[in-house]
Amino acid sequence: MAFFGVKDISIAFGGLEALCDVSFSVEQGMIFAIIGPNGAGKTTLFNCINGIYRPNKGSIRFKNEDIQGKKPDQIARRKISRTFQNIELFSHLNTMENIMLGRHIYMRTGLLRGAFLGGKRSFAGREETAHRRRVEEIINLLDLQSVRNKIVGGLPYGVQKQIELGRALALEPELLLLDEPCAGMNTEEKQDMIFWIKDIQDELNVTILLIEHDMNMVMDISDRILVINFGAAITEDTPDRVQRHPEVLKAYLGEDTQSETVA
């Protein structure tokens, strides 16, 4: 049984079919990329996986449990976390506070209880200290020490993308969904992001689902790739085979590209 799998997922909006019978499976420890032209249905697929959308048909299984139809908070409690194509940080909070929000499923002290039971020796104080210690590990992993206490709204776009990745890691995910993690980044920032994604896979043993338009990055770090277009799967295979698939070439580069490669 695969660590994570999607079978025959379909969803339509107002009669327009956004996904049609999409299926794939992911083994634990993989970096599995999902690629396709703009509007192909990639983010819609992520929204189905983490409970924002409810598919019209099909199943989504994680560690042999059917999670299709569960709410986003229920998905998060199963240790599936996500970053977004458009940054979804709290711009008025600092880096530490934004990443701390990713610890919400582990916090037993509510806001009111924490307000009345303050102090480092209280249960609330000890709990916060433990969560901050975990967040500090993430800050160190992603080289965010210099912006730890800075308001994120004033930070460069690339740094904000790192912080959003850090917040997703604060959930301690077993499955991490990365929606265009390199979008809007310069070449140096992209190289750093590739390095961190590999570290997350290797050191934290996190399985990664990746949506990305940078084909050089996708081909470099992915174990397997699913290609979708107009909501339907074209192929699923290894990077070297995907970039030579005639339907993939047609979807990305047009009709007369049979001798070219995607990368």
Residue 188 is part of a domain; what is its CATH number?
3.40.50.300
Bridge partners of 61, per DSSP, are 5, 66
Residues 55 and 138 in one domain: no
Q: Residue 188 has which token pair?
A: 């140096």
Residue 122 included in any domain: yes
Domain count, the chain: 2
Report which listed range, 112-121, 149-158, 246-255, is most confident. 149-158
* Shared domain check, 121 and 233: no
Residue 1 domain-assigned?
yes
Last residue of a domain, one of 143, 172, 201: 172
Residues 133 and 191 in one domain: no
Q: Are 181 and 239 in contact (CB under 8 A)?
A: no
Give the Cα separation of 244 and 193 in Å (integer): 26
Pairing mode, strands 175-179 and 80-82: parallel
Give the angle subtended at the CA of 208 by the CAs of 141 and 78, to the nearest 5°. 95
Question: Token digits for 179?
Answer: 């929606």
pLDDT at 247 over 70: yes
Question: Is residue 51 domain-shared with residue 129, that is, in the same domain?
Answer: no
Same domain as 133, residue 9: no
**What range defines the domain where residue 8 resides?**
1-79+173-263
Take residue 208 and report the two structure tokens written for it: 């990664």
Identify the domain boundary among 156, 172, 188.
172
Specify the pLDDT at position 111.
45
pLDDT at 196 over 80: yes
3 falls within a domain: yes
The tens digit of pLDDT for each residue in 45-78 reads 999 999 999 999 999 999 999 999 899 999 999 9
Q: Has residue 111 been placed in a domain?
A: yes
Shared domain for 150 and 35, answered yes or no, is no
Instruction: Look at residue 87 and tell me if it is in a domain.
Output: no
Residue 110 has pLDDT above 80, yes or no: no
Q: Is the pLDDT of residue 124 over 90?
A: no
User: 109 and 62: one domain?
Assistant: no
Instruction: Judge whether 55 lies within some domain.
Output: yes
**Does residue 229 form part of some domain?**
yes
Do 105 and 220 have their domain in common? Answer: no
Pair 101, 53 in one domain: no
Q: Is the pLDDT of residue 180 over 60?
A: yes
Lowest mean pLDDT among 14-23, 137-146, 224-233, 241-250: 241-250
5 and 31 part of one domain: yes
Q: What is the pLDDT, as a whole number, of residue 105?
A: 84
Q: Quote the DSSP letter at residue 151.
A: B
Nearest-CA neighbor of 179 among 4, 81, 43?
43
Q: Are residues 30 and 155 in the same domain?
A: no
Domain boundary among 146, 172, 198: 172
Asked whether residue 241 falls in the same domain as residue 137, the answer is no
Q: Report yes or no on 65 lying in a domain.
A: yes
